[in-house]
């Protein structure tokens, strides 16, 4: 449920609302620290329970940056014309999915275009922390 604070007019979203919004999108950003600077990398993802799962090419910089690291995952949807939007930021410790049954199930949901199954890591970020809000903060 959204909680509306009268001052400032900030609408924070609950965990269930955040998960619902994440389930409805397919492109988000892995936010990592690289060379002591933050950077965001778009990925095609699916929501698997309360974990965000995506593929990234084997041997790539993103794979190296996320493996067993605490990273953020961000998705937003902003429409300047209708003046509506939201943003969700999740945080969790990323790990590689290696269990064959789960990999097979995910294979169907993740676009092979983005990163080939044979040549990619399948990475999961359990959303241990999840925040969302309507954006801009002055709704």
12 near a copy of itself, judged by CB under 8 A: no
Token pair belonging to 94: 């990323």
The smaller minimum CB distance to a copy of itself, of residues 84 and 99, is found at: 84
Report in angstroms how near the CB of residue 111 gets to a copy of itself at its nearest.
7
Q: Which of residues 23-62 bind a copy of itself (CB under 8 A)?
A: 26-27, 29, 31-33, 37-44, 57, 60
Report in angstroms how near the CB of residue 123 gets to a copy of itself at its nearest.
14
Give the number of other Cβ atoms within 10 Å of residue 13's Cβ.
21
89 near a copy of itself, judged by CB under 8 A: yes
Residues in the chain: 139
136 near a copy of itself, judged by CB under 8 A: yes
Alpha helices in 78-128 (DSSP H): 100-109
Environment class of residue 39 by beta-carbon count within 10 Å: exposed (0-12), middle (13-18) or buried (19+)? Answer: middle
CB 23 within 8 A of CB 75: no
Q: In sequence order, what are the beta bridge partners of 32?
A: 39
Q: Which residues bind a copy of itself (CB under 8 A)?
A: 8, 26-27, 29, 31-33, 37-44, 57, 60, 70-72, 74, 76, 78, 80, 83, 85, 87, 89, 91, 111, 113-116, 135-138
């Amino acid at each position: 449920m959204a909680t509306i604070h009268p001052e400032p007019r900030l609408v924070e979203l609950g965990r269930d609302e955040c998960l619902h919004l994440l389930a409805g999108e397919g492109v988000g950003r892995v936010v990592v620290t690289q060379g002591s600077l933050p950077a965001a990398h778009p990925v095609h993802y699916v929501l698997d329970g309360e974990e965000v799962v995506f593929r990234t090419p084997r041997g790539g910089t993103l794979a190296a940056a996320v493996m067993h690291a605490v990273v953020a995952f961000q998705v937003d949807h902003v429409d300047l014309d209708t003046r509506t939007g939201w943003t969700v930021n999740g945080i969790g410790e990323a790990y590689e999915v290696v269990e064959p049954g789960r990999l097979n199930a995910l294979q169907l949901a993740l676009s092979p275009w983005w990163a080939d199954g044979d040549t990619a890591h399948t990475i999961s970020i359990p959303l241990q922390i999840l925040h969302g809000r309507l954006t801009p903060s002055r709704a």
